[in-house]
A and B are shown apart, each in its own frame.
Chain A
Amino acid sequence: MNAIVVRNLTKYFTPSKKEKKKGRARNPSLESRKQGNNSIIRAVDHIDFEVKNGEIFGFLGPNGAGKTTTIRMLTGILKPTNGEILIFGQNFWNNPIKAKQIMGHVPEEANVYMDLTGLENLSFIGELYGISKKERISRAEQLLKKFELFEKRHLKSKKYSKGMKQRLLLCMALMSNPKILFLDEPTSGLDVQSSIIIKKLIKDYNKNGMTIFMTTHDMDVANEMCDRIAIINRGKLIGLDTPENLKKLKQEYQAVDFYFTKEAKESELENLSSVKEVRKIRDYYHIIVHDLNDGICEIIEYIKSKNLKVKKINTYEPHLEEVFLKMVNGGDDY
């Protein structure tokens, strides 16, 4: 069963009088998405996708692409102009309170209550989810220990560092033990230690069956953590697949880099049936092949026959960042 199903989801904004007067939208990146003269801004434009139960789903896009607007619609902050959101098969807007009961949300900006302590923040959120006092305290303490905040539990959260606040936000989102966790840029601007803790714990929770929906700018995080990735640009979905498939989709050629202990003959390598092209770059050979497996096998045979020794082999594959940039700048439609 899908945890989230999004059908034809759309969000249009009408600029306020003030914005109309100034002649621009609050978010300048949305300006270019105005529809003709009627000044409607298409923040999210008829998107469809599904998030499977138990997967980590990444939502990527450049600034102003519509990521936050989408996550805000999925968490009930913004009401869609059009379209449908199903949470475990039930229409979100038919009973938003019931749907929110099984969701946790970590926004991009740390919105903890600065005048409450870490423990008080968690206890308050627990109360809003209807957790009993005894259970609240026990869960809060467990989470604070897990996220290495227990020692600072009685400190007002305005005294927490950015990383600590982000961890507290995660604790708040996890207080109700949600089935779906929404994360908006969870590791953005964090120190290495906090980032590692957060990534590890997200993976742990996912292993225990929690569905994760996360937006991120960090391609390494997306590549490392997400089962599937959707790419949104200018309000439209332009790609959705596993990181591996997305990379394949944009892979123009397959290649392997060989580092030999002594010079090899480029012409001989080029004569191999599975080799398309050979480029000598500094101390290695960038060999473009028709098929990676056949190519490597044939090149190794050649190496053996010529008594060459290999220092290092690298297979070439496009980085997710390249795929992302290509899709976003190339304007490919999904």
Chain B
Amino acid sequence: MRISKEVFGVKGSKKLGLTVQLRRAAAIAQKDLRIYYNKPPVIVQGIIFPVILFFTFTIGRKIPTPLLISGLMAMVIFLTATSIGPFVFPWETMRKTFERLITCPVSVKTILFGSMLSSFLFGVIFSLVPLVLGIIFFSLQITINFLIILIAMFLAAFVFSSFSLILSAPPTDMPGNIMIFTLLLKFTILFLSPLFMPIRDHPLAWISPLTYFVDIVNVSLGLESAFGHYGILIDFAILSFFGVFFLFLAFMLHKKTLQKRFRN
């Protein structure tokens, strides 16, 4: 026992506690942001798609300013927060850097949390752009509740970065394959979401988690909630549920598929 203490350190288990793992997750997130922010699939899905889709949805249509801002923010936060995660895992499996991470003193949850954190930050940073543009160009036409918008942004980034972990669970080492699969899924969700239109006009809107973020932003920009008087509370509750559910599902799936990544 004495030798073990000498080898592993007396405070071994304390030192490897939650705070330490959180710090290590932050290091992984920083690495992901530094390496992957400029990779073509991330730029295409995280920046180019939102711009193209924005013009596709809005050109030639007369859309009220709050719906324009909420739609764009929702689309940007969704696409950017889900752009890094599904790319990182197959890429790192292919480059064998995922193996390197596994051999380091970090748990799988730490790695997943680190990846989620990078997606989260990517989503938050980029969704600030339409908000800032909205404030600059439309500040005279709308009233804005910044606090609610910011909380909603953080919550939505959490939900969609958890969702991105689900997308990254298939144990492939070919980023191209997973990007096609994620695109199909993401477009389906986008079309199920009431972007740039009143929520009540979309019959299937309740399915998509984006709906609840759009509703919060709409309320913060002076519109009425689509879900009644306590609509905003319902939005926060449902978004939180989606976030926890996605995170739980992602951890389960990764636990199941992790060993399959190392078959080669």
Interface residues of A (CB under 8 A from B): 1, 13, 16, 26-27, 72, 75-79, 88-90, 95, 97-98, 100-103, 105, 107, 109, 111-116, 120, 124-125, 127-130, 172, 179
Contacts and interface: CB of A to CB of B under 8 A. Distances in A.
A11 to B, nearest CB: 10
A101 B8 CA distance: 8
Interface in B74-111: 95-97, 99-107
A103 B4 contact: no
Nearest to A71: B103
Contacts of B31: 113, 116, 124
Nearest to A180: B7
A124 B99 CA distance: 15
A1 B15 CA distance: 24
B104 to A, nearest CB: 4
Nearest to A108: B96
Contacts, number: 95
A107 B96 contact: yes
Contact of A76 (B3, B102, B263): B102
A124 B27 contact: yes
A100 B7 contact: no
Contacts of B56: none
5 contacts: A89-B3, A103-B103, A111-B97, A113-B97, A127-B23
B237 interface: no
Contacts of A107: 96, 99-100, 103
B35 interface: yes
A109 B262 CA distance: 13
B67 to A, nearest CB: 39
A128 B20 CA distance: 9
B4 to A, nearest CB: 5
B200 interface: no
Given A100-B105, A101-B16, A179 B7 contact: yes
A148 to B, nearest CB: 22
B99 A101 contact: no
Interface in B191-235: none
Contact of B27 (A114, A116, A127): A127
Interface in B30-83: 31, 34-35
A109 B96 contact: yes
Contacts of B28: 128
B13 A130 contact: no
B24 interface: yes
Contacts of A97: 16, 105-107
A124 B25 CA distance: 11
B13 A98 contact: yes
Contact of B4 (A89, A101, A115, A127): A89
A111 B106 contact: no
Interface string B6-20: 011100110110001
Contacts of A101: 8-9, 12, 16, 105
Given A76-B103, A111-B96, A98 B12 contact: yes
A98 B16 contact: yes
Contacts of A130: 15-16, 20, 23-24, 105
A125 B104 contact: yes
A250 B8 CA distance: 40
